[in-house]
Structure 1
């Protein structure tokens, strides 16, 4: 009742097969057959498949190639809900002791707890907090082994449940599958989805589901990790596709579109005939399917009614027997239908007939549905459409060609980064290499250190990369290094050691990368960080890996790292120095500030880039861009803003400040021009027309007038 044998547990998953996890299975198998620390703590994000992996241990026992040392292991799953269902502390404790006794008496036994955090919480709530110590003690005495499954966010609470958890258990971090392994898993599960929905799935739909859920990781409602995200998207897309196509078959829409395009009258008449026939056949088929639904409802309703009659008769006979003080049935009762009365026997026979008819009706229904779905196939575009509904991202943006995006990356970046053309080209080429080149190299996808004055495009470059490489600025994760000035800042990034305050929270950086293993990570103003933090950066930039406070390895290989620094600001802002002289002096100060081993990690210093001061011509382009944004924003209201080039030039000449850079002038527009427009809209919501912005050189302010249409 409380322990489910491995074979019984596997039987509950008749279509089970483990693909894409062979390496993980081999590694946890090797842990189970070790002499010490041979119990497992399986940790991973929600949706990664830890439970599917442990089930693979049982399935592997039927494989002739599985080592005998694993075959002899007897796996038991704990039914936690059943164990704690009574709420009676004493009873629960007795049952648990019986479980431990049974496991101890069974050689080579392994206890698997699917949700360890839930188990511990239930134990604590029922006054049985000692259960974890009992398990650990049994493990220490080699009575049996234990596999604890726990989600990432609950790992710290499980580790602190007992002081010797890390000593007894080997922590195995189940990572998200990638590449061919991810494709194999999703393809395998998609067969089950196709059977359930009775609709075939094109391979392009599978590939697109994997692509979208890997690229746009922050979209809501799709599970926490791969492969669950891609599987959930396919399931949703199939449900929406079924709902849409069962209203109107795609063939009808296709014929309707062809008729609209056809100019030849003979061909048009033939298509109209086909359309009419399709519409008639489709309506008849849907009517037949509806009949099977109606029959199912009526038959089940009748069955319930007959079952209620049987229950009433049985209760009546029981009362009669009690009244007669006799438990012996008559011969007629015995021969009529076992120990049932003739009336009950007759009702049960009717139920058997109904069950038979229901089965026949179900077969007929399935045949009709298969006929309705035979020409249906979930395609790539259907997945894109469903993801667009979930994420709110326009379908045409999701449908963008990745290769074309990479080809146009430099051009796209230049629409946001002005006056730094050589840097844009350098970064764009690095991104292309990281995405296309197949040479396997350690370290993050790309890593750059940006120097230069404030407001020249360093942070904007990071945002633009997130936008044009990953499709959304939300893919940018920013760390303000002024928050990591203290010596203990390292603990904030990777997590405090066991026993210290904050251990349960884990590391801010490592937690973030585990949640978002792709994207742009911006480390702003690194000169403000404590020197010990740079030891972490050395490891990330060199190996592309980092180990958190509980021993999990975090992978940075798909992360783009951008670091910025204010070192050399005084040189960049000195207008008496040329760009080259400022760069040379800033580089010298950089060398005196940081160790060579850190600077060399930026691709042998090739990726240490110096942003130049922006000339007035570039600042004017930025202001024109801001005015264009305003016009696009108010276009739907029938409003526009006009500012001629001479006004822009005069405004930039008067207000441009090297210290604030390009940020200052857009800030002026937001503070001084946009409020005038907004106030006009509030007072005259139905007005359409043009705002004319004229710059007064004497007052150094804009004078704005409104011209109605």
Structure 2
């Protein structure tokens, strides 16, 4: 069947319920009843639920509250696999023209293509590339409507297929659900997962799955978008938990743990008796379950054998019937007319008995499994454990208390950012406000402009925030604004206008935020960008929204934006100026360079921060931290690096350069000290000992020695 009616298509999804998408359904419905551009191009990332929305359109037609404007719409799903299965170009073309004709003759009909990219590819491969134009021409006649579903990573190929797409179709970008909507969707699907695995799911497990898959968006193997990521994580966690607990019941593990920890002999004996009874009962239950498995396999094997015997007997009887004279009416002719021979009837009766026994065995098996699972509950810890396997992030880090992390944020930042204590405090407070404050304001979650000399911690601050707020430095997305110096740079960020090359691809910035709508975005050296780019920044910093070239709106409300600028560098590097004087002169230059409306967007300029020059004691502290990192890396292998404070001080005085900032000194360690360590380990892999570094002021380098333990 090439066209599947809505009722028949919905019947393929028994007990279908669409929750958390009421707003989307209302918007889509309003587009369908418009006069112009009333066909839809539904797009969204994989896993967001685009196909479920169109299914929901059919489902709500059964609701008494649905407006009759929508009820009269007749939905049809195109079976692309059946359409292109023959590979015969002429036949396929005739069938497609027949489909269009039927739709045009059916009032208020809506054609739904669930995978438009696949439809276009199939049409092209069978020599029917004109299908999209034929579809659009028929659609343009207003005799029927079309809903094209396409994943956002395939959107460019669909837009490229016909220049009429923007004219005929309204692009509707399906966003990831959030908050209560996301919780409702995952909770409904969790019931189906629980029925499949026959294990209850605690609400805490659902909350944790949503939390982890929202916070760590880049984790592999969990689908593209919410709610699919959270659902996939729950399914994986249930499968792992099921395997683990069916090997050894959690109660047995708990009793064994209590016995190991108990110091009371009487208590230990009592626990041991409980353990033995549990082990006995669990072994017997598993044995009974295995028996039902074995019976099922044996019964099905016997049933197949009996069915084969029936087929063989019927073939023999047919052959005998064909060999008899036509004037003689044999028993085989009676059996061919609908009567079974005694042998076949006997075998069929055996099959009926086996089927009844299989049904009884299945019921017994279900009851035994329910008994085995009655005390099992998937909790948040099992979800954390499974996510750790998928992401590679240690489970103890995933289980960190987010509130506690926010409380300790300033302390954690100070462990990485030296000499900028007031800035660290300011930024930490802003993050806490963005994460906890109930007052919702327009704009991104947080926006900062960092000024100051090179190598004093501006970029390091962005990396540290990504680490301590989002748990991973990969949450930091960096844009080097020196790549956006030309006037057409705006098109690179939000996409080229219609008719220009690259229109279908969208913009680098908007695509990035669509793919990663939570995290930190660093715009480095903004003074190098073309002035037109700042018109985009004005919109982002003010409204927290940006519309790309194809009409999709991206949301920056969960994005923390950090911009850096080299404006005022000569003042910061002038040793004759105090930090206060340098900041004042840099501020004057900043005011002369950028419009007030842009600078005012940084929280009324409160979030324009000046990083100070680092005093020598801070530079020495940074080098000590680098040495500590080396020791953390090599101590597990039996090696330690020792450098005296006096050597560090002499090294910093000789090598510190204001222009390079703190970056130059760690680079020296990487180039000179670490190669000595690595070469020694390669030549003496079994050694353990201490690497001593003594600074030689004459050669302005470290003399390295190794003391074997």
TM-score if structure 2 supplies the norm length? 0.98
Counterpart residue number, 1:681: 681
Q: Is the CA contact (8 Å cut-off) linking 1:466 and 1:519 kept in structure 2? A: yes
**In 1, Cα distance between equivalents of 2:232 and 2:690:** 49
Shift of 1:139: 1.3
Counterpart residue number, 1:383: 383
Q: Is the CA contact (8 Å cut-off) linking 2:466 and 2:476 kept in structure 1? A: yes
* Partner SS, residue 62 of structure 2: coil
Q: Judging changes above 3 Å, is the alpha-carbon distance between structure 1 residues 325 and 640 closer, same or farther for their aligned structure 2 residues? A: farther
Counterpart residue number, 1:632: 632
Shift of 1:137: 1.5
Q: Judging changes above 3 Å, is the alpha-carbon distance between structure 1 residues 329 and 702 closer, same or farther for their aligned structure 2 residues? A: farther
**In 1, Cα distance between equivalents of 2:233 and 2:327:** 60
Shift of 1:703: 0.7
Q: Judging changes above 3 Å, is the alpha-carbon distance between structure 1 residues 85 and 621 closer, same or farther for their aligned structure 2 residues? A: same
Shift of 1:349: 2.7
Q: Is the CA contact (8 Å cut-off) linking 1:47 and 1:224 kept in structure 2? A: yes
* Partner SS, residue 145 of structure 1: strand
Counterpart residue number, 2:452: 452
Counterpart residue number, 2:401: 401
Q: Is the CA contact (8 Å cut-off) linking 1:88 and 1:126 kept in structure 2? A: yes
**In 1, Cα distance between equivalents of 2:261 and 2:43:** 57
Counterpart residue number, 1:433: 433
**In 2, Cα distance between equivalents of 1:79 and 1:415:** 59
**In 2, Cα distance between equivalents of 1:87 and 1:440:** 56
**In 2, Cα distance between equivalents of 1:328 and 1:74:** 58
**In 2, Cα distance between equivalents of 1:437 and 1:317:** 83
Shift of 1:321: 4.2
Counterpart residue number, 1:226: 226
Counterpart residue number, 1:700: 700
Q: Is the CA contact (8 Å cut-off) linking 2:450 and 2:564 kept in structure 1? A: yes
Counterpart residue number, 1:171: 171
Shift of 1:337: 8.7
Counterpart residue number, 2:26: 26
Moved more, 39-48 or 305-314: 305-314
**In 2, Cα distance between equivalents of 1:326 and 1:411:** 101
TM-score if structure 1 supplies the norm length? 0.98
Q: Is the CA contact (8 Å cut-off) linking 2:545 and 2:553 kept in structure 1? A: yes
**In 2, Cα distance between equivalents of 1:335 and 1:122:** 48
* Partner SS, residue 35 of structure 2: coil
Shift of 1:345: 3.1
Shift of 1:324: 4.5
Counterpart residue number, 2:258: 258
Q: Is the CA contact (8 Å cut-off) linking 1:333 and 1:341 kept in structure 2? A: no
Q: Is the CA contact (8 Å cut-off) linking 1:337 and 1:345 kept in structure 2? A: no
**In 1, Cα distance between equivalents of 2:619 and 2:328:** 104
Q: Judging changes above 3 Å, is the alpha-carbon distance between structure 1 residues 366 and 333 closer, same or farther for their aligned structure 2 residues? A: farther
Counterpart residue number, 1:560: 560
Runs of 4+ residues deviating >6 angstroms:
none
Q: Is the CA contact (8 Å cut-off) linking 1:336 and 1:345 kept in structure 2? A: no
1:338-368, Cα deviation, whole Å (9 max, x unpaired): 2444333333332222222222211111111
Moved more, 178-187 or 253-262: 253-262
**In 2, Cα distance between equivalents of 1:665 and 1:568:** 23
**In 2, Cα distance between equivalents of 1:134 and 1:302:** 55
Counterpart residue number, 2:205: 205
Matches within 5 A, 1:134-533: 134-324=134-324, 330=330, 334=334, 338-533=338-533
How many residues of Structure 1 are paired with residues of Structure 2 in the alignment? Answer: 709
* Partner SS, residue 456 of structure 2: coil
Counterpart residue number, 1:652: 652
1:33-89, Cα deviation, whole Å (9 max, x unpaired): 111111111000000000111111111011111101111111111111111111111
Moved more, 44-53 or 692-701: 692-701
Shift of 1:198: 0.2
Q: Is the CA contact (8 Å cut-off) linking 1:616 and 1:652 kept in structure 2? A: yes
1:555-581, Cα deviation, whole Å (9 max, x unpaired): 000000000011110000000000011
* Partner SS, residue 61 of structure 1: helix
Shift of 1:14: 0.8
Q: Is the CA contact (8 Å cut-off) linking 2:320 and 2:332 kept in structure 1? A: no
Q: Is the CA contact (8 Å cut-off) linking 1:336 and 1:342 kept in structure 2? A: no
- 2:524 maps to 1:534: no
Q: Is the CA contact (8 Å cut-off) linking 1:417 and 1:461 kept in structure 2? A: yes
